[in-house]
C-alpha cells in the first residue's frame, strides 16, 4: 500500500530514476519508514489496550502461585506484553519478591520483558518476514525460561541485598478502568514509545537503506567465512553498549542479513542489544548483590551465544 507513494515521491516528485542507486536507496528508505511507523502505531496501540487488562497487581498474584517450570513459561509470556524499562525494573522486582514469586520465575520475566517485545517483533515482521520474527519470539522465550530455571536452581535468595525483604508495598485498591481510561492509556503509551524510539528507527532504516543500496552483496560472506566461530561472541559484545538504540539496530541487522550475515549471528546480536544492558545491571545493584548480577549476566550471555551457534551451525 505504501510502495506507490514511495515510488511517486522519489521517481515522480524528486525525479530520480529507479536505476539510480540514490533513487533506489531513497525509495527503500521512504517505503520502509511509512510501513514501519504505520504498523507501530496500530500494533503498539492494540498491545497497550490489551495490557490495560493486565495490571501489575494481577500479574503478581498470578505468578506467585509457585508452579515450577509452568511459572517460568507464564512469566516469560507475560514479559512479551509488559512495558519495561530500566526505571521500572526495581519496583516491579520488589513487588514480585514481596508477593512470593519465586526468584527464578522473576528472572524469566526480567529477561523476556526487554528482549521479546512488540516493537522488536513488528520491526522483524515488517523487514525480514514472519518466519524470522517467530524464530526470534520462540528462541527469546526459550532463553528466558531456561535462564530463569537455571538461576532458580542456584537458590539465588542468598544473593539479594539484605534490605529488600524489609520493603513493603503500600496497599492500593485495584481500580476498575473504564473503556475511556483504557483508550487513554493506550494512546498515551503509544505516543510515549514512539516519541522515545522514532529517531533510532529512522536512523536505523536510513543506515539499512544505505547498506541495501551501496554495500556489495558478498561483503559479509567474505568477512564471516574467515571468522564463523568468533562471529557470534563478537556480535554479542557489540550489542551490549547499544541498549538505548535497540529499535534502530533491527533495520541495520536486516540489511546485513540480506548481505549474507548468518541468521544465528543476527539473532544473538539483537538479543544482546535488548537483554544485556549495563545501565539496567547497575540499577539492579540496589536490590541484588553483585554476584547475583554477574550470574544473571553470565547465564544470559551463554544462552544467547548458544542460540547464535544453534542457528548458524545446526539449523
Partner 1 sequence: MKIEILGMGCPKCNQVEKTTKQIVSEMALDAEVVKVTDIKKIASYGAPMTPGVVIDGKLVHSDGTVPDKARLTTLIVNALASQD
Q: Which residues form the interface with partner 1 (CB under 8 A)?
A: 55-57, 60, 83, 85-88, 90-92, 94-95, 163, 166-172, 185, 188-189, 191-192, 283, 286-287
- The CB-of-87 to partner 1 minimum distance in angstroms stands at 4
- The CB-of-37 to partner 1 minimum distance in angstroms stands at 19
Do the beta carbons of residue 167 and residue 98 sit within 8 Å?
yes
Show the cell assigned to 234. 563478537
Do the beta carbons of residue 272 and residue 78 sit within 8 Å?
no
Q: Which runs of consecutive H residues, i.e. helices, occur in 64-129?
A: 70-80, 86-98, 103-115, 118-127
Residue 23 DSSP code: H
- The CB-of-80 to partner 1 minimum distance in angstroms stands at 15
Q: Toward partner 1, which CB reaches closer, 35 or 60?
A: 60
How far apart, in whole angstroms, are the C-alpha atoms of residue 280 and residue 288?
A: 12
Q: Toward partner 1, which CB reaches closer, 7 or 98?
A: 98
How far apart, in whole angstroms, are the C-alpha atoms of residue 46 and residue 226?
A: 45
- The CB-of-91 to partner 1 minimum distance in angstroms stands at 6
* Number of CB atoms found within 10 A of residue 172's CB: 9
How far apart, in whole angstroms, are the C-alpha atoms of residue 23 and residue 9?
A: 10
- The CB-of-187 to partner 1 minimum distance in angstroms stands at 10
- The CB-of-315 to partner 1 minimum distance in angstroms stands at 36
Q: Toward partner 1, which CB reaches closer, 20 or 52?
A: 52
How far apart, in whole angstroms, are the C-alpha atoms of residue 164 and residue 239?
A: 31
DSSP secondary structure letters along 240-286: GGGGGGHHHHHHHHHHHHHTT--HHHHHHHHHHHHH--HHHHHHHTT
- The CB-of-48 to partner 1 minimum distance in angstroms stands at 9
Report the SS3 class of residue 288: strand
Q: Toward partner 1, which CB reaches closer, 14 or 87?
A: 87
* Number of CB atoms found within 10 A of residue 75's CB: 29
Q: Toward partner 1, which CB reaches closer, 158 or 163?
A: 163
Q: Toward partner 1, which CB reaches closer, 99 or 263?
A: 99
Q: Toward partner 1, which CB reaches closer, 12 or 171?
A: 171
Q: Toward partner 1, which CB reaches closer, 9 or 283?
A: 283
Q: Toward partner 1, which CB reaches closer, 19 or 173?
A: 173
- The CB-of-245 to partner 1 minimum distance in angstroms stands at 15
- The CB-of-75 to partner 1 minimum distance in angstroms stands at 16
At CA 202, angle to CA 201 and CA 204, rounded to 5? 60
Show the cell assigned to 307. 542460540
Show the cell assigned to 154. 542456584
Nearest of 261, 264, 245, 244 to residue 253 by alpha carbon: 261
Amino acid at each position: 500500500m505504501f510502495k506507490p507513494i514511495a515510488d511517486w515521491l522519489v521517481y515522480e516528485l524528486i525525479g530520480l530514476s529507479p536505476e539510480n542507486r540514490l533513487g533506489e536507496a531513497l525509495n527503500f528508505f521512504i517505503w520502509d519508514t511509512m510501513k514501519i511507523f504505520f504498523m507501530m502505531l496500530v500494533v503498539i496501540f492494540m498491545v497497550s489496550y490489551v495490557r490495560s487488562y493486565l495490571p501489575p497487581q494481577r500479574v503478581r498474584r498470578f505468578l506467585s502461585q509457585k508452579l515450577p517450570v509452568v511459572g517460568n513459561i507464564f512469566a516469560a509470556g507475560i514479559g512479551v506484553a509488559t512495558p519495561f524499562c530500566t526505571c521500572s525494573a526495581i519496583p516491579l522486582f520488589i513487588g514480585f519478591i514481596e508477593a512470593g514469586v519465586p526468584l527464578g520465575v522473576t528472572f524469566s520475566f526480567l529477561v523476556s520483558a526487554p528482549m521479546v517485545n512488540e516493537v522488536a517483533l513488528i520491526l522483524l515482521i515488517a523487514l525480514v518476514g514472519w518466519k524470522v520474527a517467530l524464530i526470534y519470539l520462540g528462541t527469546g522465550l526459550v532463553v528466558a525460561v531456561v535462564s530463569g530455571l537455571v538461576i532458580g536452581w542456584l537458590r539465588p535468595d542468598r544473593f539479594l541485598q539484605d534490605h529488600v525483604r524489609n520493603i513493603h508495598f503500600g496497599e492500593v485498591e485495584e481500580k476498575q478502568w473504564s473503556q475511556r481510561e483504557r483508550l487513554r492509556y493506550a494512546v498515551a503509551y503509544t505516543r510515549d514509545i514512539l516519541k522515545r524510539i522514532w529517531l533510532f528507527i529512522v536512523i536505523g532504516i536510513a543506515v539499512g537503506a544505505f547498506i541495501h543500496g551501496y554495500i556489495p552483496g558478498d561483503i559479509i560472506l567474505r568477512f564471516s567465512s574467515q571468522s564463523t566461530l568468533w562471529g557470534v561472541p563478537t556480535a554479542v559484545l557489540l550489542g551490549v553498549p547499544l541498549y538505548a538504540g535497540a529499535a534502530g539496530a533491527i533495520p541495520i541487522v536486516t540489511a546485513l542479513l540480506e548481505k549474507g550475515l548468518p541468521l544465528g549471528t543476527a539473532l544473538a546480536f539483537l538479543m544482546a542489544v535488548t537483554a544485556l544492558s549495563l545501565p539496567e545491571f547497575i540499577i539492579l545493584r540496589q536490590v541484588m548483590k553483585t554476584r547475583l548480577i554477574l550470574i544473571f549476566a553470565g547465564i544470559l550471555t551463554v544462552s544467547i551465544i548458544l542460540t547464535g551457534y544453534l542457528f548458524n551451525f545446526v539449523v
